[in-house]
Structure 1
């Protein structure tokens, strides 16, 4: 969260033949409601079922596509079957700084209720980061880099990996 997945994805699309999709966007379209509402109305367990459905569809149906995922998507059993896993990596403090310095900071913070409690957000980051690093085929350190720089590095590293 807050590492610039969307910005980097848009840059990758500009400089490659990839298209980009976001699993949270797919879920919101499928459910015709926002992720926040799904969590509030149905709970996390229901949301994770939706992610599992999306993961199965991605594995069967999607090729040559950059897929941005939500923070808990890494737990999907078929993740490695979907494609090359790229981690956009950054320290927690750098992520918070990046979000707060964004022109739409208020909107971005509102969209991320987990960040209303920075202590809990840091704990979640510290729990998940080792798992992300273990799963990643390619790691891009995004700290103090523009989306364009990250996209160029991503494309270079993915070509070497495939």
Structure 2
């Protein structure tokens, strides 16, 4: 089975994904890391040198490659991955794939991301939590229709890692 975690940056896809993979004895794969390895460049470098259109095409290509060749893997997608190309459609046609939207509220995302914004090129220029709240709100408004196409939605507000894991596992048993 392939388990795909979808959600906004900072929603816990990698953190929860690694934990879930350990519990299930699956491999964990972050799609952005996979792309970086294949392209021999970081995501910001790819954006800077080859542009977003190139990146989005490669992202779809590598997503297709991963979901059609790997088994027993927990896959964390980049926050924008579901919103481009036919990426959500690709996920829906794989029979042994379950997709989960890790949904965290805008205020909690802003609180979590504000402290680590220097590591996130998309929001590194934002200097106030109010501005970040506005940015995330607008972004989520655009992305929610894609995220909502996930097979399951797990609301992660004020939940511990263990509670989130239990919610995910309840849908897998």
Structure 2 counterpart of 1:29 = 37
Deviation sequence 1:73-92 (CA, Å, 0-9, x none): 21314121342111000111
Q: Distance in 2 between matches of 1:6 and 1:99?
A: 14
Q: Which runs of 5+ in 2 are unaligned?
A: 1-8, 127-131
How many pairs are equivalent? 152
Structure with more helix by fraction: 1
Deviation at 1:114, TM superposition (A): 2.0
Output the CA distance in 2 between the equivalents of 1:8 and 1:81.
24
Matches within 5 A, 1:1-162: 1-74=9-82, 75=84, 76=87, 77-82=89-94, 83-100=97-114, 105=115, 108-115=116-123, 116-117=125-126, 118=132, 119-133=134-148, 135-159=149-173
Give deviations 1:101-155, integer Å, cap 9, x for gaps.
xxxx3xx31221222342333311111013211x111111111112222112111
Aligned-pair RMSD on alpha carbons?
1.6
Contact 1:59 1:81 in 2 (8 A): no
Q: Which shifted more, 119-128 or 32-41?
A: 119-128
- Residue deviations 1:22-53, cap 9 Å, x none? 10000011111111111111111000111111
> TM-score scaled by structure 2?
0.80
